[in-house]
Amino acid sequence: MEAKAQARYVRVTPQKARRVINEIRGLNATNALDVLEFAPQAVARDVRKIVQSAIANARYAAGQAGERFDESALEILETYVDEGPTMKRIQPRAQGRANRIMKRTSHITVIVGTKEA
């Protein structure tokens, strides 16, 4: 059984989010939560919430299907970060000029499930 959780418009650059996502790809779901709890990156808190949501979605889906749920058997099957819309801001500079500030956003997706033999 697979379950998916997604966070959209997270205010972090996709490059920074991918650094954290790559650390948990393929891990057991409970081990991934432990890794994310002690990761120094700020986005680790958001990714941890997404993994917890995916686990809760799997628990709910198993209950609806009447199947037995074992959280320790869940693994992170897929994780990816897509680029969201970029907010464009202006920073005034000297002599009437302006610099553009790009505030990037991310769409983070986590899919958990059990590996079928």
* Domains in the chain: boundaries: 2-113
Please name which of 36, 24, 38, 116 lies closest in space to residue 76, comparing C-alpha atoms: 24
DSSP symbol at 85? P
pLDDT at 115: 81
Tokens of 13: 């650059």
pLDDT digits (tens, 9 = 90+) for 80-96: 999 999 999 999 999 99
pLDDT at 89: 97
Q: What is the value of pTM for the model shown? A: 0.91
pLDDT digits (tens, 9 = 90+) for 22-58: 999 999 999 999 999 999 999 999 999 999 999 999 9
Residue 29 to residues 39, 52, 60, 90, 91, Cα–Cα distance (Å): 15, 9, 16, 41, 42
Fold of 2-113: Ribosomal Protein L22; Chain A (3.90.470)
Q: How far apart are CA 32 and CA 13, in angstroms?
A: 21
